[in-house]
Homo-oligomer: A and B are copies of this chain.
Amino acid sequence: MSKLTHIDGDGAAHMVDVSAKDDTIREARAEGVIHMAAEVLETIKANAMKKGDVLATARIAGIMAAKKTSELIPLCHPLALSKVAVEFEFLDDGIRVEAMARLTGKTGVEMEALTAASTALLTVYDMSKAMQKDMVISDIRLLSKSGGKSGDWTAE
């Protein structure tokens, strides 16, 4: 678009061109943790939270959020995800979530995995907040990515 005055200069947001990239199988895994009081954790383990089954609901929320990633993150490409999974692990003081996303396509799925993990954790918060308001969500990070030209990557 050379005939335009680029008002905002190089700082202008745009969705990066991936049309020339290859369709390869790409996968990403991400994790995050929600820290909570022992009493809250026990209530979730006993599936006794008043609002309903916390982990089943958070899992569905995470999977559906992965599919909404390009609606949430402005410069993400819309993707035809081929698989999404969300798993939980009980820690001493909270719950760890791990999400994975897979795609045969032209761009990576890191944001889909991170969005799934983040939304699953927010859903745990929502369903438990009547018991504890000061739960903290932390350590949301990418665990690994594979596929694509830039090669594989695994967090240390």
Contact = CB atoms under 8 A, between A and B. Distances in A.
Contact of A57 (B60, B123, B129, B139): B60
A51 B155 contact: no
Which of the four size classes fits the interface of chain A? 35 or more
A13 B81 contact: no
A14 B84 contact: yes
A17 to B, nearest CB: 4
A4 B63 contact: no
Interface string A1-28: 1001111101111111111110001000
Interface majority SS on A: helix, strand, loop or mixed? mixed
B77 A1 contact: no
Contacts of A121: 140
A56 interface: yes
Total copies of this chain within the assembly: 6
B126 A60 contact: no
Contact of A11 (B20, B52, B79, B88): B52
A110 B6 CA distance: 22
A77 to B, nearest CB: 6
Contacts of A106: 82, 104
A89 interface: yes
A142 to B, nearest CB: 6
A102 B52 contact: no
B56 A8 contact: yes
10 contacts: A1-B85, A4-B89, A7-B90, A14-B84, A15-B85, A19-B102, A64-B64, A134-B142, A134-B155, A138-B140
